[in-house]
Structure 1
Amino acid sequence: MDLKWLLVRRITLVAVACFLAGSAIVLYETARAAKQQNSELAELVGRQLSLQLSRIDRSTDIPQRFPDWDIITTYSLQPGQCVELLGDKGTTLRSHCGGMDTTTSTPEWFFKAYRAFISGHLDAVLPLSYRGAASGTVVASLNPAATAAQAWATIAPLLLLSAGMIATLCLVAYFVVDRALRPAKEILSGLNRLSRGDLAYRLPPFRLREFNRISEVFNALTDELGKVTSERSEFARRLVDNQEQERRHIARELHDEIGQKLAALNALAACIRASAQRDAPALVSEARELEDMASVSMKSLRRTLTYLRPQEIDDLGLIQSLKDLIDQHNKIAHGRTQFSFETTGDVEKLRAETSAHVYRIIQEALTNASKHADARHVRVLLDQLADAEQERIRLLVVDDGAGARSSDEGPLAAGWGLIGMRERVVALSGKFAAGPLPSGGFGLHIEFPTAQEGA
């Protein structure tokens, strides 16, 4: 939940709780006053009837006049208040009630709640006796509608006032909290940019001490991450560049030494076979076998040289090497999968090591797509982008296959191929993203600057 709305909701809950507590106090005071009024009325009537019993006992009054209720009817009662004299069996001997104020209406829900929790405990009951003999029971009560109307008349203005105050408080709290938490949006934006690899972003200083401390820690963290990332990229670049240089050196040595000797061996075997056909026909089959072994060894050496360092990158350039690589995959697929390659901008001016990294990344991505994607189309896009900050290269490899890769060794995310691609991207000081696409299939997205630091 948004922090502003969370605080506003809690403030509202506290305000409502305060209103309910205030309403409970009002109801309690109203009930206590009604109880006290009933108790005073019951005592007053009880004293009056006890006085009449004493006059009867002194023969100054006759028993037939008991109870003398005419005096009781002169008492001023509260609206809805009643006083009764009950006999021994609970029968009503006499009763007197005050009038009701019908102009005040009480909501039905409030009246039901009031009757359920309060109105049953307001009656005042006073047993009447004289010289130890029971003479009845005086009961003073208030009509629940009257006491509920009295309580509602007190609470209704409080309810309207509280609603207005709560609304005003929430509105003021929302804008105050929103203004106070504006730095949090900037901090969150900085964290999002940091998660995307933008280590150049810095947070400004803030007025609040807590936010300013967060800004200082964030900036110090990005500085340290920038240094570590730069050192890691430089180390990875040197490592992978040295690996490519070593591969180039081994490829040249194999080509110059082993390749020439295998070619000489093949030619010598051909000469032996030609001579054997004239002088020793029994040796022709052995000479032909030796010639075939030399030819197979030369093909195997050529595949090894291509794996170590494709000669086309140095001779024909990166673009033509990638086109040849795409053609090879199309031939192997036999129409089951169509591989395509698109490029824009001038990507031929990349360093030799950078071109080798790009070639290896695309080679590994196409191999994974051929083995695991089960796709009908695989697209390779290599673009040169330029903006106000720097020139950069964007590489996309997208297929419409099964999406997430998996193999017997486990998911592609944990495979050596993807790890190798990621390390090459780190060496190029670039950004790497790979995973299933929302529309289906699998995508590889790489961006790196054209010129690497320290190169």
Structure 2
Amino acid sequence: MSLKWLLVRRITLVATACALVGGFIAVCSVSRTANHQNAELAQSVSRQLNLQLLRIDTMLDLPKRFPDWDLVTSYALQPGQCVQLLARDGSVSRSSCEGIDAVVNPTPSWFIDAYTFLFPGDATVSEPVSYRGTGEGSVVASFTPAAIAGATWQTIAPASGFAILLVALLCIVTYYIIDHALRPTTEILQGIDRLAKGDLGVRLPSFRVAEINRISEVFNALVADLKRASSERAELARRLVDAQEQERRHIARELHDEIAQKLSALSALAACLRIAAQQDATGLAGEAKELEAMASSLMASLRRTLTYLRPQEIDDLGLLPSLEGLVAGHNKDCEGRTRYTIEADGDIEELNSETRAHVYRIIQEALNNAARHANAQHVRVTLNQLLGADGRKVELAITDDGIGSAPSAKLKPFPGSGLIGMRERVLALSGSFNAGPLQGGGFGLHVVFPSQPSGGAA
């Protein structure tokens, strides 16, 4: 539930509670009034009957006329009010009641039932009837629950409509006031969502409310610090990864220029020895042949090392042929168990040398992980150059249909340090990196970076 609706609901509950308290006070007031009327009636009737007993004792009245109930019935009773004379044994000697006119004072039956359920029993007041210490009975005045419920309804009915209207008006006014007061929070939440998605260019405007404006100032300061830290980290990562690639290139060049040439010479010399041994020293032919095979094996191992350090075809042939060769090598190694494909669109070759090396390494690591862990039937590589509103970007995606975690499971990165290395390379390219299980099964890796990352090597 949003903060706006939470506040409106609570204010509505408070207003409703106040209305209910007011209704309860009205019920108590009507009940006190009924008790007061019963007390006055019971006292008046008791006084008249006591006076009649005095007249009988002084022979001014006849005993058979007691009680003179005609005199009692001359009192004006309220609707629903009754007065009774109880004999000494508790039986009803005389009784008079005033009916309720449901037409003049209509009361909903549900309200009568509710009042009767909450306040059962009649409101009664009793006064004794006695003369010279001898009790002759008691006078009981009472109101029926329906009568008190009717009086209560006549009291609160006019105010209840006004109370409902007031609560509704209060809810509407409160909603618009709170909506206006909390409107800046919508912009704050939108800014937080954009920041969570990696948009470090988001900024919050100034607000008139001091507390909310302070949140805006702190948020903008934090985003600025985060953007500066991210830029510094990206620059450091770029330098480290570029230095690593340059060192690999240097080592590969040294191996190619020194050791590869010497191994080539050694292989040629071994071939000459084998030919000479076959003609002049047949006993040494086997050793010469073995030496030649060893030199050839060392050359093959050196080529693999050179390819790992810095594939020569990236500089000689270009990025796309190097990637096609990498994919062809995986297809050859898996012997048909998995099919590797690559699709490219756009002028990928315009990327600078270090960027091409980063892309190659990212795809190389992703394919190695897929080969080791995915157990997939198809691994697909797509590399596209896109033209957006903020310039040209390169989009790289590697997906497989392997037996990865279910989409609902917690995302698990590639094992080992390969994912960390890929993240650092993407960071060096000033790009975004996402990896995790796909909705339909399998695993996917998605990278987007600008064609000319800031601070990149030319």
TM-score range, shorter chain: over 0.9
> For residue 330 of structure 1, what is the amino acid of its counterpart?
N
Please report how far the alpha carbon of residue 293 of structure 1 lies from its aligned counterpart in structure 2 after TM superposition.
Answer: 1.8
SS in 2 for 1:84: strand
Alignment of 1:119-130 (within 5 A): 119-120=120-121, 122-130=123-131
> For residue 217 of structure 2, what is the amino acid of its counterpart?
E
SS in 1 for 2:40: helix
Other-structure match for 1:151: 152
Residue by residue over 1:302-350, the C-alpha shift from the partner in whole angstroms, topping out at 9 and shown as x without a partner, is 1111111111111111111111112222223333322221222111111
> For residue 169 of structure 1, what is the amino acid of its counterpart?
L
The 1:7–1:342 alpha-carbon spacing in structure 2 relative to 1, beyond 3 Å, is same
Query: Whole-Å Cα distance in 2 between the matches of residues 190 and 412 of structure 1?
Result: 28
Alignment of 1:228-377 (within 5 A): 228-377=229-378
SS in 2 for 1:275: helix
| Matching of residue 102 in structure 1 with residue 99 in structure 2 | no
Other-structure match for 2:73: 73
Please report how far the alpha carbon of residue 230 of structure 1 lies from its aligned counterpart in structure 2 after TM superposition.
Answer: 0.8
Other-structure match for 1:198: 199
Query: Whole-Å Cα distance in 1 between the matches of residues 414 and 213 of structure 2?
Result: 39
Q: CA RMSD in A?
A: 1.8
Query: Whole-Å Cα distance in 1 between the matches of residues 424 and 151 of structure 2?
Result: 81
In the alignment, structure 1 segments of 5+ residues that lack a partner are none
Please report how far the alpha carbon of residue 362 of structure 1 lies from its aligned counterpart in structure 2 after TM superposition.
Answer: 0.8
> For residue 188 of structure 1, what is the amino acid of its counterpart?
L
Please report how far the alpha carbon of residue 211 of structure 1 lies from its aligned counterpart in structure 2 after TM superposition.
Answer: 2.0
> For residue 60 of structure 1, what is the amino acid of its counterpart?
L
Query: Whole-Å Cα distance in 2 between the matches of residues 111 and 133 of structure 1?
Result: 41
Query: Whole-Å Cα distance in 1 between the matches of residues 199 and 259 of structure 2?
Result: 49
Q: TM-score, normalised by structure 2?
A: 0.94
Alignment of 1:373-452 (within 5 A): 373-404=374-405, 411-412=412-413, 415-452=416-453
Other-structure match for 2:221: 220
Q: TM-score, normalised by structure 1?
A: 0.95
Residue by residue over 1:386-428, the C-alpha shift from the partner in whole angstroms, topping out at 9 and shown as x without a partner, is 22322221111122222339xxxx9435631111110111111
Residue by residue over 1:99-154, the C-alpha shift from the partner in whole angstroms, topping out at 9 and shown as x without a partner, is 21111333333222212333536211223332222211211111211111111122
| Matching of residue 181 in structure 1 with residue 188 in structure 2 | no
The 1:94–1:237 alpha-carbon spacing in structure 2 relative to 1, beyond 3 Å, is same
Q: Which range moves more in the overlay, 80-89 or 114-123? A: 114-123
Percent sequence identity is 59
For the 8 Å contact 1:31–1:118, the answer to whether it is kept is no
SS in 2 for 1:303: helix
Other-structure match for 1:59: 59
SS in 2 for 1:259: helix
Alignment of 1:156-167 (within 5 A): 156-167=157-168
Other-structure match for 2:50: 50
For the 8 Å contact 1:277–1:284, the answer to whether it is kept is yes
SS in 1 for 2:208: coil
SS in 2 for 1:348: helix
Other-structure match for 2:31: 31
Residue by residue over 1:160-215, the C-alpha shift from the partner in whole angstroms, topping out at 9 and shown as x without a partner, is 21221222221222222222222211111111111112112221212222222122
In the alignment, structure 2 segments of 5+ residues that lack a partner are none
SS in 1 for 2:328: helix
For the 8 Å contact 1:127–1:137, the answer to whether it is kept is yes
For the 8 Å contact 2:122–2:145, the answer to whether it is kept is no
Query: Whole-Å Cα distance in 2 between the matches of residues 136 and 413 of structure 1?
Result: 99
Aligned residues: 451
For the 8 Å contact 2:122–2:143, the answer to whether it is kept is no
For the 8 Å contact 1:101–1:146, the answer to whether it is kept is no
